[in-house]
């Protein structure tokens, strides 16, 4: 019955979902696609596109209606994300980072915190960021060293964060810091989640990092030097941070997988169009089996990645724990995005290697999908744990 429900769901989007998808598609094709190559070359933050996306309601979809948002389901958000990513994953990541930063507040914030920090996102086009990774700790979140020390009614934070998407553009951060210095304290109790205003004294924003792909996205190191955070900005309570930080991922991995799928779909479309135009040995290259088989395998991967993210989104929307499906979707979509983008370059041949053609950018953009939001290896750890856990029951 679960299978039937999902199949009918996937084949029949509701009218409203179709309209959302069409709006996002139109916006991506008309506003993002034409500008993407230039933003990639210059690395400039795509402010006009983000502003327009915000005006159309294509951003911040997770914010509940009580706080001025649209309270869209994860599934609806994924539909939109895939379409935007089709246009440019750099732009889409800048937008998605808002969702990641907001998710801890949506899941664990008090009413006052939600009103204050989610409310403002719906009143103006602001950005926020998820501030967890450090130069010395990425996958091993429990190894982060940024320290939060309680002093009276405040916490004083010192440390260094790295690779923070929207780091230089955020209005506020979700910050994870170690509040219990005892090394024997279990991870589940040693960390605290904070909401930090970006203009708090002591926050030093590093330079914009020049990355391989998704180059218009703003990624920075951030230094915290005696930054004072009021205790009102603690999420839930001291020591509750680890679970909050990790819990966000079950909601944000499906959209990330959707983004990777959007990139893969774009690569497939570009490669297919080219293969129907380029001629060699007397016919269009699509009629040579070597190429058509490549395209067939690319198509298989795209369709399966889509089904995977839709399943993981649907599971969490039904109120169920979706960790297993979310990790599968993210791992699979990230991997196939890289494969499909590489194959697209191959289909284009020499032209594919050149910056005048759109596919080399896709190949560069795809790589990060195997790294952020939990590396491909971490996803496998999670999937194995979840999978084996089912057998042990």
Partner 1 sequence: MGSSTSLVPKSVTAAINAHGFGYFGCPHTFGQVGYRLKRTEQYIRVKPDNSSVVTDGVKHSMNPFCEIAVEEAVKLKEKKLIKEVVAVSCGPQQVQETIRTALAMGADRGIHVEVTGKDYETLGPLQVSKIMAALAKKEEAQLVILGKQAIDDDCNQTGQMTAALLDWPQGTFASELSLEGDKIKVVREIDGGLETIKINTPAVVTADLRLNTPRYATLPNIMKAKKKKIANVKPADLGVDITSRLEVLRVDEPPQRQAGMKVETVDDLVGKLKEAGMV
Residue 63 C-alpha from the chain's centroid? 16
Token pair 């598609």 is found at 25
Residue 245 burial (CB count, 10 A): 23
Distance (Å, rounded) from C-alpha 388 to C-alpha 40?
42
Which positions from 58 through 77 interact with partner 1, judged by CB under 8 A?
Answer: 58, 61, 70
Smallest separation (angstroms) from partner 1 to the CB of 303: 15
Instruction: Return the range that interacts with partner 1 (CB under 8 A); candidates 23-31, 161-169, 171-179, 341-349.
Output: 23-31
Q: Which two tokens stand for residue 363?
A: 């190949």
Smallest separation (angstroms) from partner 1 to the CB of 125: 13
Residue 284 touching partner 1 (CB under 8 A): no
Cα distances (Å, whole numbers) of residue 190 to 149, 155, 182, 234? 12, 14, 8, 14
**Comparison of 24 and 176: residue with beta carbon closer to partner 1:** 24
**Comparison of 31 and 373: residue with beta carbon closer to partner 1:** 31
Distance (Å, rounded) from C-alpha 281 to C-alpha 348?
15
Annotated catalytic, 373? yes
Q: Which two tokens stand for residue 40?
A: 């990639």
Cα distances (Å, whole numbers) of residue 314 to 10, 183, 309, 349? 10, 39, 8, 39
Q: Which two tokens stand for residue 147?
A: 């320290």
Size of the site for partner 1 (CB under 8 A): 18
Instruction: Return the range that interacts with partner 1 (CB under 8 A); candidates 10-18, 107-115, 229-237, 318-326.
Output: 10-18
Residue 15 touching partner 1 (CB under 8 A): yes
Smallest separation (angstroms) from partner 1 to the CB of 26: 7
Which positions from 24 through 53 interact with partner 1, judged by CB under 8 A?
Answer: 26-27
* Among the listed residues 42, 110, 204, 273, the single contact to partner 1 using CB under 8 A: 273
Helix residue ranges, H only, the chain: 2-11, 15-27, 33-42, 47-56, 74-87, 89-108, 111-117, 119-123, 187-190, 241-275, 289-317, 323-348, 359-366, 376-392
**Comparison of 61 and 255: residue with beta carbon closer to partner 1:** 61
Cα distances (Å, whole numbers) of residue 277 to 32, 98, 347, 353, 365? 24, 40, 12, 18, 25
Residue 18 touching partner 1 (CB under 8 A): yes
Distance (Å, rounded) from C-alpha 223 to C-alpha 202?
8
Binding site membership: which residues? 130-139, 163-165, 278-280, 288-289, 346-350, 375-377
Cβ neighbors of 147 (< 8 A, separation 6 or more) are 157, 158, 159, 177, 178, 179, 181
Instruction: Return the range that interacts with partner 1 (CB under 8 A); candidates 96-104, 266-274, 357-365, 384-392.
Output: 266-274
Residue 111 touching partner 1 (CB under 8 A): no
**Comparison of 68 and 206: residue with beta carbon closer to partner 1:** 68
Residue 254 touching partner 1 (CB under 8 A): no
**Comparison of 22 and 318: residue with beta carbon closer to partner 1:** 22
Residue 224 touching partner 1 (CB under 8 A): no
Instruction: Return the range that interacts with partner 1 (CB under 8 A); candidates 12-20, 36-44, 134-142, 184-192.
Output: 12-20
Element (H, E) at 207: strand 203-208
- Can you give the binding site for partner 1, defined by CB under 8 A? 15-16, 18-20, 22-23, 26-27, 55-58, 61, 70, 269, 272-273
- Which residues are tagged catalytic? 373
């Amino acid at each position: 019955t679960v299978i039937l429900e999902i199949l009918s769901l996937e084949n029949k989007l509701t009218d409203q979902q179709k309209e959302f998808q069409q709006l996002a598609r139109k916006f991506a094709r008309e506003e993002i696609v034409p500008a993407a190559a230039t933003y990639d070359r210059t690395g400039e933050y795509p402010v006009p596109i983000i502003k327009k996306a915000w005006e159309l309601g294509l951003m911040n979809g997770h914010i509940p209606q009580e706080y001025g948002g649209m309270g869209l389901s994860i599934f609806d958000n994924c539909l939109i994300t895939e379409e935007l990513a089709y246009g440019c994953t750099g732009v889409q990541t800048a937008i998605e980072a808002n969702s990641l930063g907001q998710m801890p507040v949506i899941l664990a914030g008090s009413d006052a915190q939600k009103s204050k920090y989610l409310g403002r996102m719906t009143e103006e086009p602001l950005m926020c960021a998820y501030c967890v990774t450090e130069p010395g700790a990425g996958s091993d979140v429990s190894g982060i060293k940024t320290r939060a020390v309680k002093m009276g009614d405040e916490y004083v934070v010192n440390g260094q964060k790295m690779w923070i998407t929207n780091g230089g553009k955020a209005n506020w951060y979700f910050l994870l810091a170690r509040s219990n210095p005892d090394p024997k304290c279990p991870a589940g109790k040693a960390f605290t989640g904070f909401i930090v205003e970006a203009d708090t004294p002591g926050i030093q924003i590093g330079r914009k990092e020049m990355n391989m792909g998704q180059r218009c996205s703003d990624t920075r190191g951030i230094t915290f030097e005696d930054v004072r955070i009021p205790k009102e900005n603690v999420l839930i309570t001291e020591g509750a941070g680890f679970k909050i930080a990790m819990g966000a991922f079950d909601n944000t991995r499906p959209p990330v997988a959707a983004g990777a799928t959007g990139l893969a779909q774009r690569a497939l479309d570009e490669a297919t169009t080219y293969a129907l135009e380029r001629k060699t040995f007397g016919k269009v290259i699509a009629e040579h089996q070597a190429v058509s088989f490549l395209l067939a395998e690319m198509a298989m991967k795209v369709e399966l990645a889509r089904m995977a993210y839709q399943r993981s989104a649907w599971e969490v929307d039904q109120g169920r724990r979706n960790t297993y499906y979310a990790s599968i979707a993210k791992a699979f979509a990230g991997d196939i995005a890289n494969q499909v983008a590489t194959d697209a370059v191959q289909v284009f041949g020499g032209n594919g290697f050149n910056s005048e053609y759109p596919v080399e950018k896709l190949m560069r953009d795809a790589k990060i999908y195997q790294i952020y939001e939990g590396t491909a290896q971490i996803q496998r750890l999670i999937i194995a744990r979840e999978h084996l856990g089912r057998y042990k029951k």
